[in-house]
Amino acid sequence: MTTSFEPGAPAPEDFVPLCVPRIQGNEWKYIKECLDSNFVSSVGPFVDRFERDVADYLRAKHAIATVSGTAALHIALLLAGVKPGDEVLISTLTFIAPVNAIRYVGAWPVFMDAEPDFWQMDPAKVEKFLLQECLWDGSELRNKATGRRIKAILPVHILGHPADMDPILEIAHRFNLRVVDDAAEAMGAEYKGRKAGHLGDISCLSFNGNKVITTGGGGMIVTDDDALAKRAKYLTTQAKDDPVEYIHKEIGYNYRLTNIQAAMGCAQLEVLDDYVSAKRKIAKSYRNGLEAVNGITLMSEADWAFSSYWLSTILVDESKCRLDSRALRKQLNQKRIQSRPLWQPNHLSPAHLGAQSYEIDVAERLYSRAVSLPSSVSLTENEQDFVVKAIRSASLD
Ligand SMILES: *Cc1c(COP(=O)(O)O)cnc(C)c1O
């Protein structure tokens, strides 16, 4: 590679990754305890402890561990009573996992737009859709266009910033809809002092490798409802009604987290607040370093929000910059800086062709302009300077 590197920059063989885990606490110790005690599978003290610790952290009554965030979403939709042929409102601007989960239960997504300020599900458009495009008979809400029953709203807190939940919860409960929220990217974030991961009727978390904290792979279902929590455990453990005779009255799933993964989760949870502080500091440095650059703006934080800044993300306005978001990504790539665009909005996804979408324009604009920047907890000041300089020179050249 012949790219020139500036003084003080990471050596050319180095590469600045987008977001990698940091393992620096009690992970080794706790996992060794699993190996020494032979509790390696989905029964064991760390599973119980991780569930308790996460529930306590979120100030929730119950947390039920799962093999992945996607599995948590699948079960959460079953718990919410979403049936085949129902519809679930979801923001189009999200990683595809929660949309796929809606299809797993045989229901259909209806795609909603993002709001322009914090890029989350737009509550005003959700309300307008429910009031103007649906029929309420006093107990059920039907979509006029499709005739299907609307059963739930699924806000996704993208990039670590919470969605504006109060208006969403208010309108959902007015129409007897459940709110299942996806906090996979927002562990450690807060909405008006309440923890993300415990904002909706049922919330879901992910502990995949690139999330704020990780168990390698894993997820969690969070709820205050005793009956739902019991049912979550039942459905995730093969719906076993008689553990001796192996009698099952329903189709269940093998979705339980293992003790080894939970051990890692317990260790990671101990440092979560430090990790969130590190991510917020990274976002602040990007803001300071890039605010003078014409046409580049960093994702902002609502005054009612405490963002985990999972991935610091900028918008590149090609009408004010020398280049557009894709050209900027190419230049960063040449300097061995990993970045990424947002997800293709799901109403455009070939995997979800034919699903209804409602008044979407903000999400498409954000998708064309956004670039997520290196945001690992372990990102050094030196590396971050290098990224900032690379963006500055690319936008000014
Ligand atoms: C990562 C992610 C998921 C899925 O979590 P997995 O643990 O990878 O299955 C779901 N929703 C969002 C918004 C995510 O970012």
- To the nearest whole percent, how much of the chain has pLDDT over 90? 92
70 close to ligand 1 (CB < 6 Angstrom)? yes
Q: Residue 261: which of 20, 25, 30 has the closest Cα? A: 30
Q: pLDDT band for position 6 (50/70/90)?
A: low
Say how many Å lie between the CA of residue 70 and the centre of ligand 1: 6
Statement: residue 125 has pLDDT above 70:
yes
Tell me: the pLDDT tens digits for 129-183? 999 999 999 999 999 999 999 999 999 999 999 999 999 999 999 999 999 999 9
Say how many Å lie between the CA of residue 185 and the centre of ligand 1: 7
Statement: residue 12 has pLDDT above 70:
no
At residue 243, the pLDDT reads 84
Q: pLDDT band for position 43 (50/70/90)?
A: confident
Q: Give the range among 1-10, 277-286, 309-318 with minimum mean pLDDT.
A: 1-10
At residue 9, the pLDDT reads 54
The residue that leads in pLDDT, 8 or 110, is 110
Provide the whole-model pTM: 0.95
- To the nearest whole percent, how much of the chain has pLDDT over 70? 96
- Inter-axis angle of helices 97-104 and 69-79, nearest 10: 40
Statement: residue 267 has pLDDT above 90:
yes
What mean pLDDT comes out for the span 105-122? 98
Q: pLDDT band for position 4 (50/70/90)?
A: very low
Statement: residue 13 has pLDDT above 90:
no
Statement: residue 322 has pLDDT above 90:
no
Tell me: the pLDDT tens digits for 219-239? 999 999 999 999 999 999 999
69 close to ligand 1 (CB < 6 Angstrom)? yes
205 close to ligand 1 (CB < 6 Angstrom)? no
Best substitution site from 70, 99, 102, 187 to test ligand 1's pocket, by max atoms within 8 Å of Cβ?
A: 70
At residue 148, the pLDDT reads 98
Report the distance separating Cα 64 and Cα 229, nearest Å.
Answer: 7
Tell me: the pLDDT tens digits for 67-77? 999 999 999 99
The b/e string for 24-48 (b: 16+ C-beta within 10 A; e otherwise) is ebbbeebbebbeeeebeebebbbbe
**Is 396 within 8 Å of 297 (Cβ atoms)?**
no
Report the distance separating Cα 95 and Cα 118, nearest Å.
Answer: 16
Q: pLDDT band for position 10 (50/70/90)?
A: low
